[in-house]
Structure 1
Amino acid sequence: MGAIVTEAIKIDVWSDIACPWCYIGKRNLEKGLAAAAGDEDAPQVEVTFHSYELSPDTPVDFEGTSEDFLAQHKGISREQAREMNQRVSQIAEQAGLHYRFDLVHHTNTVKAHELIHFAKEHGKQVEMTERLMSAYFVEGGHVGRIDDLVGLASEVGLDGDAARAVLESDHYLPAVRQDQAQARAYGINGVPFFVIDGKYGVSGAQPPEAFAQVARQVWSERRAAEAATEG
């Protein structure tokens, strides 16, 4: 008899490009999965990103700083907003991410989500998500305008003209809305949110060890169930 081939664990991640905890969560997930990948019987994992808009009413060109946005959005003072940004920046540094809230361009993220769906069709979803988050939080890039998004798409190896066509036509908007409807069905009201194999929910930017542990646990359960079936 040959070795049992176990189907990959599916991790579905709901996140927003403009969510600082989502980028931290993405990086911690990657670190946790990399740690588990060193196991003798390493879990096989397939990660898919899904759309979630934290602030869908944000204009494409928000006038003001990150502190202005937070103060308006959360009903807090600019000083409180500055302290929030400082705290999340410190946690981001621990994940190896150097946030530049002084450069951030707050914008509407629906087009960025459409672009991620386009990238998914071409096998570049993870790369596109990473590029968008890095542009937004680290480089002070604009992720709301079609011209800027086309440039970022080209950087990860996607066809710029094709990207422009789908963004201008709203081709992937239904896919974005479908992700959002699924989030509501799951009862997700904050991101990042990780759904493992459609049955385990993990909320928030957990440390890498937590992601490694859940991957190992689910993989072990899979192996045990298959062994019992084979027996």
Structure 2
Amino acid sequence: MKVEIYTDFSCPFCYLGKKRLEEAIQILKDDIQIELSYRSFILNPNAPLVQNMDSYTYFSKLKGIPLNQVKDIFLQTKEQAKKDNLNFNYDVMKMTATTYAHLIIKSIKEPRMQKEISNLFFKAYFEEGYNLSDLDDLATILKPFDLNRNKIEEIIQHQVAQELLQEDISLAEAYGIESVPFIIVNDQYAIKGAQPTQVFKQYLEQIYNNITEEQHLKNDSCSI
């Protein structure tokens, strides 16, 4: 069964949703063969490469929300993340563009490596205060994978990676995706939002049963 998750590294619910979806797939691994792939979605195409404002002020100006309300929203997501053993740190977060990080993910073909690097990017953005648009910061994040600044610069300038990113953006538009995380199963079924792990598990089981039943119905037929 093919599962695709659309996420952006600046989306706290994508961090939560990705973790929970992966946990659900791990639980089901002995019963359902699932191929998980990662699709890119850019929430704020106009996000700056360099951020001079703290996350609270920037988000307040971006969304037109009072600062005290922003702090309440961030506190709620921080508390929610704690339950999933994620340590959001809005005090150090740099709300910058995520395009470079997406281009790096698009340059990687191996799903396991995509998963690991995606986790690094989410952690770097939400917990460690790295700038995902800074080549030196990216090189620090990707040091375990021997990707230095020069290699990273080559990747983000490569036409193939740019075309693959644009393909994801176009697919998201075709599906009518306006918020993330958004999961597409077998190009047919949709799951929206950062559902709890058990809910993801139930959805995936139900979809698998639907697909299996549909295949049986197709096979129970006469031909000339």
TM-score, normalising length: structure 2? 0.89
Give the match's secondary structure for 1:47. Answer: strand
Identify unmatched segments of 5+ residues in structure 1: 1-8
- Distance in 2 between residues matched to 1:82 and 1:145, nearest whole Å: 26
1:24 alignment counterpart: 16
1:119 Cα deviation from its structure 2 partner: 2.4
Within the alignment, does 1:180 sit opposite 2:164 as a pair? no
Residue aligned with 2:71, SS: helix
Give the aligned residue type for 1:46.
Answer: E
> Partner amino acid for 1:107?
T
1:106 aligns with 2:95: yes
CA distance in 2 between partners of 1:119 and 1:133 (Å): 17
Select between 62-71 and 171-180 the one with higher mean Cα deviation: 171-180
Cα 1:178/1:158, change in 2 over 3 Å: farther
Q: What do you get for the CA RMSD once the two structures are aligned?
A: 2.1
Partner Cα separation in structure 2 for residue 158 and residue 124 of structure 1 = 13
Q: Which amino acid aligns with 2:140?
A: G
Q: Write the distance in 2 (CA, Å) between the matches of 1:91 and 1:70.
A: 19
Q: 2:29: which partner in 1?
A: 37
> How far apart, in 2, do the equivalents of 1:59 and 1:142 lie?
10
Partner of 2:82: 93
1:206 maps to 2:206: no
Q: Where do 1:1-231 residues align within 5 Å?
A: 9-37=1-29, 42-120=31-109, 124-155=113-144, 157=145, 159-160=147-148, 161-169=150-158, 171-226=160-215, 229=219
Q: Tell me if structure 1 keeps the 8 A contact 2:37–2:111.
A: no
Q: State the secondary structure of the residue aligned to 2:61.
A: helix
Amino acid of the residue matched to residue 49 of structure 2? V
Shift of 1:116: 0.7
| Greater mean alpha carbon deviation, residues 170-179 or residues 99-108 | 170-179
1:162 CA drift (Å): 3.5
Taking every aligned residue pair, what percent have the same amino acid on both sides?
26
Matched letter for residue 12 of structure 2: P
Change (3 A) 1:34 1:187: same
Structure 1 length as normaliser, TM-score?
A: 0.87
Are residues 213 and 195 of structure 1, via their aligned partners in 2, closer, same or farther at CA, if it must alter by over 3 Å? same
Paired AA for residue 134 in structure 2: R
The Cα of 1:10 is off from its aligned counterpart by: 1.0
Q: What SS does the aligned partner of 1:33 have?
A: helix
